[in-house]
């Protein structure tokens, strides 16, 4: 039996009586790289918030490493959507990464040299040490995303959630994130991320969760990421269906990846 | 000569300005500047009700009334958007209007009911009066400023994360809601303390303006708080000095006008963000662009075998009618001019080739990328070479060459 990192049972989340997630049951095993996939408004980010504990479910429960969420001491790493913060904020790169160490510090204590060194290591992992004193607004979108990733690394948690880390980033950032993900997997960490690019799912992720207000399917990519399930997830949206068809075709033919390099 | 009395007032308003500056910076970073306005205006009904109940103008009674109604206003602003479809800005505006309206109505009622002399004191609350400030009041303000600085200093990291990314804060076990509550309470307290000196109508201005001015001078969280506090204190000092030497001027408006003075100076003169330096930057960019076009046009002619080109053959955009860019290029040794004919010098040719190549590589990079930053479009060759790594430049060059071959 594989140990579950996240166990979701009968989860319903509602904003003002209107359910945005309904009847979710899923298990995400320890050490997996799991993609949450679904159309816009499917409740992907909401599911992350529920796992994080920043919104309260209307019903159902969640367990993180075998403990109910509200009694869990486990800290969860988090990479929010890039658009969720004001990048004009007067703060420099290193300061943002240091936020990842705040939870270990406790009240009133400020990050010291140890935290600073650790934060630099995390910046190194995403190739951003040179830019540590930049104001975050002066970074490109991809670099901002990498700062967020470094901050999550600084949290040094067993479980990390990422909300669309690949959305609108440049090739260098995509590469950096991919390396980070591989490293995390090697270390046995569990990473759950919202992903929108169906083309790359079966190449990066060993687990998928197909979501459209309710759970369409969840499980190992090889069994779950099928044409039927994608049809059920995306319904009649044609362009997406084409994409899905393409992705599925590549599974069948065993091709891994369409070269994206500068064509 | 400054009288001891003025000194007391100065101490008081300096402390006030400091408090306003610090809390204002925090509110600005949370994009809640308008909340300060709503809370300040909402103190009026509380003051009036307290006056009616206690039937006195004692600072404690009126202050308590003000604080209670400030907190009620803050709670309403937070609560309305959560239970209804009203958005935060609309909720803030509603609360401001309703509470201030109620306050004005109550002031009218009190004045007509003939409580006479003491009711006149309520008028003072609208625009503020520093003249009668007691030594004990000034000391209270001083203590408040010290306490507020200490709180903000010791909770720096909690405040930073809950201003920048509250959701991340919550997820890493920082009680962002309590911090939020603390911040709103500090705001309410500051406003209540500032009321007698600056007045209901303008207190919010003293909270918001120094912070807005400070943002022009820095990109750092700590220095923003510091500069904002300094500007607040400065406004307090300047306003007090002006209003004590002109007895007819009410203190509140003068202090706010002083703050506005600092704002205007910041808006115009701040390095990098001020209007003047933005204008100069835009001008130098546009000149660089013109020169680039000029050199490129001559290079183009050279590549077509024409070693010299007549000035009127250069496209208008590359030379401008006043020929300034041409003169500058000649001075810099990039262009040789013989009468109406111009040609590139060796350094000019190297410069033009380099610029052209960088631009081509940059275009290639832009087309190969999914997301483009608007800031990254209009760059010159030096910036382009700084941004792209040498390996990436090689890759891009190869892909350009490949395409040209095929």
> Where in chain B do CATH 1.10.10.10 domains reside?
274-406
- Residue A70 DSSP one-character state: G
- pLDDT, tens digit, for every residue of A41-66? 888 999 999 999 888 888 888 999 98
User: pTM score, two decimals?
Assistant: 0.83
First to last CA, chain A: 45
Residues of chain A contacting residue B371, judged by C-beta atoms under 8 Å apart: 141-142, 168-170
Give the separation between CA B356 and CA B103, rounded to whole angstroms: 67
Q: How far off is chain A from B347, nearest CA to CA, in Å?
A: 32
pLDDT for position A58: 87
Number of A–B residue contacts, CB under 8 Å: 98
| Separation of CA B99 from chain center | 28
pLDDT of amino acid B368: 65
Q: How far apart are CA A259 and CA B389, in angstroms?
A: 21
A113-148 pLDDT tens trace: 999 999 999 999 999 998 999 999 988 888 999 999
Average pLDDT score over chain A: 85
Q: Which residues contact B346 (CB under 8 A, 6 or more apart)?
A: none
Stretch (H or E) spanning A50: helix A44-52
Residues belonging to chain B: 406
SS3 call for A78: strand
Cα of B375 to nearest chain A Cα, Å: 9
Nearest CA distance, A233 vs chain B (angstrom): 25
pLDDT the model gives residue A262: 33
Is A15 strand, coil or helix? Answer: strand
**Interface residues of chain A, partner chain B, Cβ below 8 Å:** 49, 52-54, 75-76, 78, 80, 84-86, 89-92, 95-96, 98-100, 102-103, 105, 107-108, 110-111, 135, 137, 140-142, 151, 155, 168-172, 261-262
**Tokens coding B165:** 């990314």
Q: Which residue in A has a C-alpha nearest to residue B167's C-alpha?
A: A54
| Cα dihedral sign, A182-A145-A6-A38 | negative
Tens of pLDDT, residue by residue over B86-120, are: 899 999 999 999 999 999 999 888 887 765 555 55
Task: For B179, name the nearest residue in chain A, comparing CA atoms only.
Answer: A107
B48: exposed, middle or buried (C-beta count within 10 Å: 0-12, 13-18, 19+)? buried
Measured distance CA(B303)–CA(B297) in Å, rounded = 10
Find chain B residues with C-beta within 8 A of A95's C-beta.
160, 221
* Residue A141 to residue B371, Cβ atoms within 8 A: yes
Nearest CA in chain A to B398: A262
Residue B168 and residue A151: Cβ atoms within 8 Å? yes
Mean pLDDT of all residues in B267-276: 93
Of B172, B219, B399, the CB nearest to A90: B219
Q: What is the pLDDT of residue B56?
A: 77
For residues A150-162, average pLDDT: 95
Higher local confidence (pLDDT), A107 or B12: B12
Across the interface, which of B29, B157, B373 has its CB nearest the CB of A89? B29
pLDDT of residue B324: 80
- Picking from B165, B167, B368, the nearest residue to A262 by CB comes out as B368
A86: chain B residues, CB-CB within 8 Å: 31, 164
Nearest alpha carbon to residue A45 among A161, A130, A168, A128: A161
pLDDT tens string B210-258: 999 999 999 999 999 999 999 999 999 999 899 888 878 878 889 999 9
- Nearest by CB to residue B171, choosing from A76, A91, A110, is A76
Residue (of B182, B180, B217, B230) closest to B21 by Cα position: B230
Residue B310 has which token pair?
Answer: 């007549």
Q: What distance in Å separates the CA atoms of residue A30 and residue B153, rounded to the nearest whole number?
A: 40
Full 3-state SS string of chain B: CCCHHHHHHHHHHHHHHHHHHHHHHHHHHCCCHHHHHHHHHHHHHHHHHHHHHHCCCCHHHHHHHHHHHHHHHHHHHHHHHHHCCCCHHHHHHHHHHHHHHHHHHHHHHHHHCCCCHHHHHHHHHHHCCCCCCCHHHHHHHHHHHHHHHHHHHHCHHHHHHHHHCHHHHHHCCCCHHHHHHHHHHHHHHHHHHHHHHHCCCCHHHHHHHHHHHHCCCCCCHHHHHHHHHHHHHHHHHHHHHHHHHCCCCCHHHHHHHHHHHHHHHHHHHCCCCCHHHHHHHHHHHHHHHHHHHHHHHHHHHHHCCCCCEEHHHCCHHHHCCCCHHHHHHHHCCCEEEECCEEEECHHHHHHHHHHHHHHHHHHHHHHHCCCCCHHHCCCCHHHHHHHCCHHHHHHHHHHHHHHHHC
The per-residue pLDDT for range B318-348, each reduced to its tens digit, is 766 567 888 888 888 888 888 888 888 999 9
Q: How confident is residue A259, by pLDDT bands cut at 50, 70 and 90?
A: very low
**pLDDT interval class at B187 (50, 70, 90):** very high
8 A C-beta contact, residue B32 and residue B263: no
Mean pLDDT of the region B164-171: 92
Could you tell me if A207 and A29 are in contact, meaning their C-beta atoms sit under 8 angstroms apart?
Answer: yes
Q: How far is CA A179 from the centre of its chain?
A: 14
Q: Calculate helix-pair angle for B324-331, B275-303, nearest 10 degrees.
A: 80
pLDDT tens digits along B282-321: 988 888 888 888 888 888 888 888 888 888 777 777 766 5
Specify burial of residue A256 (Cβ count, 10 A radius: 0-12, 13-18, 19+).
exposed
Nearest to B369 among A85, A92, A170 (CB): A170
For the domain made up of B274-406, give the CATH fold: Arc Repressor Mutant, subunit A (1.10.10)
CB contact under 8 A, B395 and A85: no
Q: Which residues of A touch B395 (CB under 8 A)?
A: 261-262
pLDDT of residue A238: 45
The closest alpha carbon to A102, from B171, B121, B61, belongs to B171
Sort out which chain B residues have CB atoms less than 8 A from A151's CB and list them.
Answer: 168
Q: Which helix (H) or strand (E) holds A18?
A: strand A18-29
pLDDT at position A263: 30
| pLDDT above 90 for B147 | yes
Model confidence at A250: pLDDT above 70? no
Cβ proximity of A235 and A40 under 8 Å: no
Pair B224, B25: CB distance under 8 Å: yes
Distance CA B176, CA B30 (A): 12
Would you tell me which CATH number, out of the four given (3.30.70.360, 1.10.3470.10, 3.40.190.10, 3.50.50.60), belongs to the domain B4-270?
1.10.3470.10
HSE-CB of B25 using CA atoms within 13 angstroms: 34
Q: Of B336 and B366, which is predicted with more confidence? A: B336
Nearest of B100, B136, B123 to residue B51 by alpha carbon: B123
> Distance, in angstroms, between A254 CA and closest chain B CA?
26
Q: So what's the pLDDT on residue B370?
A: 43
Q: What would the mean pLDDT of A214-240 be, rounded to a whole number? A: 79
Test A108 with B369 for CB contact under 8 angstroms. no
Determine the residue among B84, B167, B178, B213 to mutate to test chain A binding: the one whose Cβ has the most chain A Cβ atoms within 10 Å.
B167
- Per DSSP, the three-state class of A217 is strand
Helix axis angle, B4-29 to B33-54, nearest 10°: 130
- Alpha-carbon separation of residue B152 from B15, B23, B157 (angstroms): 15, 9, 9
Name every chain A residue with its beta carbon within 8 A of the beta carbon of B222: none
């Amino acid at each position: 039996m594989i140990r579950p990192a996240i166990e979701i049972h009968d989860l319903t989340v509602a904003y003002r009586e209107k359910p945005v997630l309904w009847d979710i049951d899923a298990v995400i095993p320890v050490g997996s790289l799991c993609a949450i996939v679904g159309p816009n408004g499917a409740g992907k980010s909401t599911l992350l918030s529920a796992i994080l504990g920043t919104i309260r479910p209307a019903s159902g429960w969640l367990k993180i490493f075998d403990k109910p969420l509200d009694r869990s001491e486990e800290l969860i790493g988090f990479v929010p959507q890039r658009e969720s913060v004001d990048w004009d904020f007067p703060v420099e790169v290193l300061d943002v990464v240091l936020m990842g160490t705040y939870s270990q510090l406790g009240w009133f204590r400020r990050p010291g040299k140890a935290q600073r060194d650790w934060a630099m290591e995390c910046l190194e992992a995403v190739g951003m040490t040179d830019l540590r004193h930049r104001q975050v607004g002066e970074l490109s979108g991809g670099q901002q995303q990498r700062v967020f990733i470094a901050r999550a690394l600084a949290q040094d948690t067993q479980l990390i959630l990422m909300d669309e880390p690949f959305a609108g980033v440049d090739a260098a950032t995509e590469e950096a994130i991919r390396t980070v993900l591989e490293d995390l997997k090697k270390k046995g960490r569990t990473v759950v991320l919202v992903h929108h690019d169906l083309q790359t799912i079966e190449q990066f992720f060993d687990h998928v969760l197909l979501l459209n207000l309710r759970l369409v399917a969840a499980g190992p990519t090889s069994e779950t990421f099928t044409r039927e399930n994608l049809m059920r997830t995306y319904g009649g949206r044609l362009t997406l269906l084409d994409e899905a068809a393409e992705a599925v075709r590549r599974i069948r033919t065993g091709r891994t990846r369409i070269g994206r390099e500068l064509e | 000569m400054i009288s001891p009395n003025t000194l007391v007032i100065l101490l008081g308003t300096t402390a006030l300005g400091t408090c306003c500056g610090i809390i204002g910076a925090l509110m600005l970073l949370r994009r809640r500047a308008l909340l300060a306005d709503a809370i300040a205006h909402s103190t009026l009904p509380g003051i009036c009700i307290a006056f009616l109940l206690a039937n006195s103008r004692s600072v404690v009674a009126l202050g308590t009334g003000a604080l209670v109604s400030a907190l009620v206003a803050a709670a309403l602003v937070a609560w309305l958007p959560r239970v209804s479809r009203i958005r935060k800005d609309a909720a803030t505006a509603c609360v401001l209007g309703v509470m201030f309206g109620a306050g004005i109505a109550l002031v009218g009622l009190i004045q007509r009911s003939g409580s006479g002399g003491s009711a006149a004191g309520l008028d003072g609350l609208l625009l503020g009066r520093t003249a009668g400030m007691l030594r004990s009041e000034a000391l209270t303000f001083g203590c408040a400023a010290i306490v507020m600085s200490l709180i903000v200093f010791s909770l720096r990291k909690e405040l930073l994360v809950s201003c920048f990314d509250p959701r991340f804060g919550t997820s890493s076990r920082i009680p962002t809601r309590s911090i939020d509550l603390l911040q709103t309470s500090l705001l309410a307290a500051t406003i209540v303390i500032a009321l007698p000196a600056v007045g209901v109508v303008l207190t919010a201005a003293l909270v918001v303006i120094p912070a807005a001015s400070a943002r022009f001078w820095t990109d750092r969280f700590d220095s923003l708080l510091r500069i904002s506090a300094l500007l607040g204190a400065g406004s307090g000092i300047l306003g007090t000095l002006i209003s004590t030497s002109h007895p007819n001027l009410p203190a509140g408006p003068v202090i706010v006008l002083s703050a506005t003075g600092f704002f205007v100076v910041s808006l115009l003169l701040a390095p990098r963000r001020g209007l003047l330096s933005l204008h100069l930057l835009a001008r130098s960019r546009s000149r660089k662009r013109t020169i680039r076009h000029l050199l490129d046009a001559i290079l183009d002619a050279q590549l077509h075998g024409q070693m010299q080109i007549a000035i009127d053959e250069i496209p208008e955009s590359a030379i401008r009618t006043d020929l300034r860019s041409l003169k500058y290029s000649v001075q810099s040794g990039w262009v040789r001019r013989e009468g109406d004919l111009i040609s590139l010098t060796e350094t000019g040719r190297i410069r033009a080739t380099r610029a052209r190549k960088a631009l081509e590589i940059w275009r290639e990079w832009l087309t190969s990328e999914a997301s483009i930053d608007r800031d990254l479009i209009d760059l010159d060759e030096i910036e382009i070479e700084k941004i792209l790594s040498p390996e990436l430049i090689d890759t891009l060059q190869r892909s350009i060459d490949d395409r040209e071959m095929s």
